[in-house]
Chains A and B, each alone.
Chain A
Amino acid sequence: MKLKKLYGILSVLVVLSMMLAACGPATGTAEATEAPSSMTAEPTEAPAAQVPQTERHGGWLDEIDVSVVDGASAISQIQAGAIDFYSFTLASDAYPAIKESGLSTTKSVGGYYGISLNPAVFTDTNVLNPFSNRKIREAVNWLIDRNYVNQEIYAGGSLPKLFTITTQLTEYTNLIDTARALEAKYAYNLDKAKEVIDAEMPGMGAELGADGKWQYNGKPVSLIFLIRPDGDGTRKPMGDYVANQLESVGFTVDRQYKKSSEAFPIWLGTAAKDGQWNLYTAGYTPGGFPRDEKALFQQGYLNTSIQASEPFISTTSDPEFQQLGDDLAQGHFSTKEERDSMMARALELSLEDSLFVWVIDQQTYSPYSNDVQVTWDLALGAESTNVGPYNLRFKDQEGGVMKVGTNDLFTQPWNTVAGSNWVWDAGIFRATSQGTSNIVGGGGLMADPYTGLAYPQRIDSAELTYKKGLPIKQNLDWLTVNEVDQIDVPADAWVDWDAKTQKFVTAAEKYPDGLTANVKSVVVYPEDLFDTIKWHDGSSISVGDFVMSMIQGFDPGKPDSPIYDESLAASIDATLTAFKGYRIVSTSPLTIEAYTDAYNADAELNILPLWPISPFGLSGENSWPILAISNLAEAGGELAYSSDKSDANQIENTSWVGGPSLEILSKYLEQAASESYIPYEPTLGQYITADEAAARYANVQKWYADHGHFWIGTGPYYLDKVFTTEKSLVLKQNPEYVDLADRWAAFSQPKLASTVLDGPGQVTAGEEAVFDVTINLKDTDQAYQNSDIRLVKYILYDTTGAVASVGEAVEVGDGQYQVTLSADETSKLQTGSAKLEVAVVPIPVAIPSFTSFDFVVVK
């Protein structure tokens, strides 16, 4: 009887377990593929909030509570109401669970995966490396069914990837004809792969055995495949799939499952010719909004790659590809047309080279509650979106407390010189700062999260002058662009820093024979800048903040400086090779010229408005008193901005938010305040008075007393409280912020397009055929404005799947276009099933919309 009771209890436990297990996420169907965008052709209006809908300044929310949440439980936590938004990204295998949960989600480009092939002929002549043959490397493209991989491994939530450039984003859209034609050419075709391999292998001395396996010197041709089982776990099934495919064409595959730590020393650390590997499941993550990917051919395929290691240095490329890749990387072209043509050819040659065979462009997701509104960067995700904190809110509500979860916090000490650059920490920095473009030094601008371009936030006007012949293109009309034969750097421009005299070095002093630059940008700031922009401690921003930030960009790299840091010096020297000078033309209104040899293809991204932000590309703003006391602590040998210097000197790494640094900084704050200390007085003494210094230090002292940290910005939220061990923090709305909360409301949602293509199901070869294209805003019935459409392109595929012709659709109404296939075009089609594809390239977003229509061709 007792036993029966016991069994009864156990049975209930088992049933309960099964029920809980059944609550797990189910697999879902894939979402229809969307398309990317391109470089916009005509200058367009900057987005602005139409009629102000609010009187509220700063952020929409009263408070944002950020804490660390395990990504695996993020969806459940949102459903349970524990958090409202998980701002870090989840891999695409989480997408079905997000859909199943009914939550909203961001969707942005994640990492990309592919197969790295060893190109070397092995030293051991008894071992054959088939991938030393370029034709066999190329054939691997046909071996891989990328759609299958996407559906089976990535739950349909990612994008099949054929090229080194990002699939369905700016460059891809720009090269859409070539890209689609190549995708058709390299579509999955096992027979074709086998045919090429069968043709090439005998020439390399291999023969096909009776068992269908390739043999070399009497032994099977065995391929060592380094497969990574770590990371998000998707590289393992991807590697297994590719291994299966290779085995199906006669290779023997030695699958070696190795974590990054074990695989790296073999992949990058051994000479390719040593033959310790043949294939490796490689993965990369994008570093910024990929508008300009011209350097990727050199980086990913050539022996001149920036990754100056194996296997790159062991590859020998086709001379045309080598030249093309190097020229593109170095910007050796003079017009956009020339660049496009070089890029198109490089795409083709990269597939023929196939040092990497790309497989998947991952999409990543950040889930959020349906009553939340999130703005996210299509390429970088929510936490890297400069405008993100400005637009984060509860729908149709002002105020409220939002709970946000992320992957980690305070991973490294927080300072803006050489501190944390982790994406979750930087997400907080963005909330406390003015916006920036996606380019280093782009303060005072706001990055467009949907195109990667930038709009003015804290500048009144801007003018760009560039040297004639440079392939720079203007997209937006908020700046003036000029082209000149030569740009001379004025003699009084500041081109370097003398740490000994604590003065800037002028162009006349350093370059007595004169100095020229490729690009000059002139930025005029608003008249009321110094009255309206306040630091969170209540101080007004001043010219001193701007100049201090400039100095901070040079001084740590100078051996004579008391804050010299060897680890920063190399970067500063590298920057100085392109940097040609700053010049403060006026302080009322503040007008600053910047000269440089480095340039970007987009005119907007060449405007370099100085702003008190990190000169080293980190996020966060620099109030001069904070830099001053940190510099004093570093000069005193008690703190160091960089971990390298703190390790070398066995001292603490400067943190403005916690740890032993706070006490040290506080001590130097007292000292600076008592002396009304003006840092770099020979220079800053011209911009900062002793009274201003005293007032600024007093404000910082009060701030520290109230909040217990030194993180001070000017953004729409301020950092109220920090809990380092509990890994959480509180951001509060900054009611003193100059802009209304809806300043960037135009960026609330991406204007994605959805396209429908309709036409005759049967087309007679040699006769004209007309197809209708309807373009709407995604998920609405609202027609997409034609003025927001850059281009509607059609691609006609013949019955074999090859591209038969390419053309542009004609506008016939609002959101209505028409494709007319001429009699000449249809006459080239064979009888059978053909396909028409349309690509819509919108201006406001970098993601195009694709759709296709199958029809039958009859004679």
Chain B
Amino acid sequence: MSVIAQAPLEKATIRKAARFGSFARFMRYVVTRLATLFVTVVIGIYLTIMIANMGGYVDQIIRGEIRDRITNLIALNQAYQQMDPDTRRALIQEKIALEEKRQGLDTPIAIRNFRYLSNALQLNLGRAINMTSDSGSKQVRLIILERLPATLLLMGISQLFLFFSSVFIALSLSRHYGNFWDKLVIALSPSSSVPPWFYGIFLILIFASAFKVLPFGGMVDSPPPSNTFDYSMSLLKHLALPCASLILSSFFLSVYNYRTFFLVYSSEDYVDMAKAKGLPSRDVERTYILRPTLPSIITNFSLLIISLWTGALFTETIFLWPGLGRTLFQAIGLYDIPIIVGSTIIYAYMLAITVFLLDFVYALVDPRVKIGQ
């Protein structure tokens, strides 16, 4: 039997070729993946624009509102009442035309849509149509940036607390499957069908209205305390109810989900085998249960982090929390497309980047996953 031995040079060449092949495969994957994600973002944003302006129907709505607002303004202004009807009508028409121009209604909808899309993709967020930032600017970038800290604070605290407490409690419950607390969580999990704003109303009734121990809404006391410590305390006091409502509305279902998830993994054959081998339960949990669940948990955590961006539309509104959710809620009501698109494009980019990076993270935490295969 003859053995063909490879020369060192050949080995290096093969290794190099293999490395190059891997790199090419990797690059091909990266380019394809990025292109796919970009196309998805483009389609998503265009659909958002189309939905936000209802395929052009919003133009009709805005034209009607402009006419109504301007005629009423003129009608209520005494300076115009003795003006002859024809002059007044001409003036109204002139003001309507000016306002329509200001809102961009003199440009065809298709052109506007592509302009929105192109600007959005370049992260040129532009100017709002009707809304202004609290400090008076119409730049969408400033409107979003002004509200971002409040949203990150509220969503960050509530969602991170929700995530970590759910995972740890679920893990504990999965260890004690069928005990009282496990059954209680199962029984209470339908409570998550109630939206957070509904809990918010209840919590306001109990803690603000009846017990008078927490504020009804807002972000800080009025006027806001001047020193940092008092300001922080005031902030925490105002955070309590909105955070509680966000946590309460998802807590039991979230624990239930993770608990079921862990239970599924803990009933795998290899876990039984590990237990049968007499491995300590801590090792079984860490190596045989938690490790395989990591990709899913990391995915959930990553999506949770980017979901902080969107804020909580109704909860922020109920608690007058000056966050992005409330801004988006107002923008939808006012058909302020640049703000809707601005908020969406940032989310879309963050989502795309997260999805892209997750592929690499999966490969890092799970040896079975190979990039590009």
Q: Does B142 contact A (CB under 8 A)?
A: yes
Q: Establish whether residues B217 and A73, one from each chain, have CB atoms under 8 Å apart when the complex forms.
A: yes
Number of interface residues, chain B, beta carbon within 8 A:
72
Contact partners of B147 in chain A: CB under 8 A: 725
A330 touches B82 (CB 8 A): yes
Interface string of B114-144 (1 = CB under 8 A from A): 0000000000000100001111111100100
Q: A725 contacts B135, CB within 8 Å?
A: yes
Does chain A have a CB within 8 A of B350? no
Contact yes or no, A643 B76, CB < 8 A: no
Taking a contact as CB atoms under 8 Å apart, the answer to whether A570 and B218 are in contact is no
**Complex formed: what's the CA distance from A73 to B223 in Å?**
19
Q: Which secondary structure dominates chain B's binding surface?
A: helix
Picked from B85, B138, B215, B322, the residue with its CB within 8 Å of the CB of A306 is B85
- CB of A233, distance to nearest CB on chain B (Å): 16
Q: Is A439 interfacial (CB-CB < 8 Å)? A: yes
Closest chain-B Cβ to A74's Cβ sits at a distance in Å of 9
CA distance A223 to B80 in the complex (A): 36
Q: Which residues of B contact A68 (CB under 8 A)?
A: 218, 320
Q: Which residues of B lie under 8 Å from residue A726 when comparing CB positions?
A: 218-220, 222, 224, 322
Query: B175 on the interface (CB 8 Å rule)?
Result: no
B275 at the interface (CB under 8 A from A): no
A582–chain B nearest beta-carbon distance, Å: 16
Closest beta carbon of chain A to B165's beta carbon, Å = 20
Given A268-B64, A726-B224, decide whether A410 and B218 contact each other with a Cβ distance below 8 A. no
Stretch in contact with the other chain, from A32-40, A654-662, A782-790: A654-662
Give the CA-CA distance A412 to B136 in the complex, in Å: 6
Interface of A is mostly: mixed
Cβ contact within 8 Å between B61 and A655: no
Do A410 and B75 touch (CB < 8 A)? Answer: no
Q: Which residue of B lies closest to A567 (CB)?
A: B98
Expressed in whole angstroms, the Cα–Cα distance for A484 and B247 within the complex equals: 76
Say yes or no: is B172 at the interface (Cβ < 8 Å to chain A).
no
Complex-state Cα separation, A17 to B80, whole angstroms: 56
Q: Which of B154-162, B179-187, B259-267, B357-365 contacts A (4 or more CB under 8 A)?
A: B179-187
A-binding segment of B12-20, B65-73, B281-289, B296-304: B65-73
- Which one of B21-29, B37-45, B88-96, B306-314 contacts A? B88-96
- The answer on a CB contact under 8 Å between B209 and A261 is no
Q: Does A66 contact B (CB under 8 A)?
A: yes
Q: Evaluate contact between A658 and B136: CB separation under 8 angstroms.
A: yes
**What residues of chain A lie closer than 8 Å to B92, measured between beta carbons?**
306, 308
B134 adjacent to A724 (CB under 8 Å): yes
A264 pairs with B68, CB closer than 8 A: yes
Are B222 and A66 in contact (CB-based, < 8 A)?
yes
Task: Determine the chain B residues whose CB is within 8 A of the CB of A298 once the complex forms.
Answer: 85
- The interface residues of chain B lying within 8 Å CB-to-CB of A660 are 135-137, 142
B60:A410 contact, CB within 8 angstroms: no
Complex CA gap A286/B216 in Å reads 32
- B202-223 vs A, Cβ < 8 Å mask (1 yes, 0 no): 1011101110100111111011
Per a CB cutoff under 8 Å, which of B61, B135, B146 touches A261? B61
**What residues of chain A lie closer than 8 Å to B64, measured between beta carbons?**
261, 264-265, 267-269
A17–B205 CA distance with the chains assembled, in angstroms: 11
Q: Mark A101-125, 1 if CB is under 8 A from B, else 0.
A: 0000000000000000000000000
Which B-chain residue is minimally distant from A720 (CB atoms)? B223
- A312-361 with Cβ < 8 A to chain B: 326, 329-331
Whether the Cβ atoms of A265 and B217 lie closer than 8 Å is no
Within 8 A of B (CB), among A351-386: none
Please, how many angstroms separate the alpha-carbon atoms of A227 and B71 in the complex?
A: 22
Chain A CB within 8 A of B232 CB = no
What is the bound-complex CA distance between A287 and B81, given in angstroms? 13
Task: List 11 extra interface pairs beyond A69-B218, A643-B102, A658-B136, CB under 8 A.
Answer: A65-B223, A68-B320, A73-B217, A82-B208, A265-B64, A286-B76, A410-B136, A574-B79, A575-B79, A653-B138, A658-B135
Q: Which residues of B contact A (CB under 8 A)?
A: 57-58, 60-61, 63-65, 67-68, 71-72, 74-85, 87-89, 91-95, 98-99, 102, 127, 132-139, 142, 146-147, 150, 180, 183-184, 187, 202, 204-206, 208-210, 212, 215-220, 222-224, 318, 320, 322, 335
Can you give 25 A-B contacts (C-beta < 8 A)? A20-B210, A70-B216, A73-B209, A76-B204, A76-B209, A82-B216, A260-B65, A262-B61, A295-B81, A306-B85, A308-B88, A412-B132, A413-B136, A570-B91, A574-B91, A578-B83, A652-B137, A653-B136, A658-B136, A659-B133, A659-B135, A721-B223, A725-B219, A728-B223, A730-B223
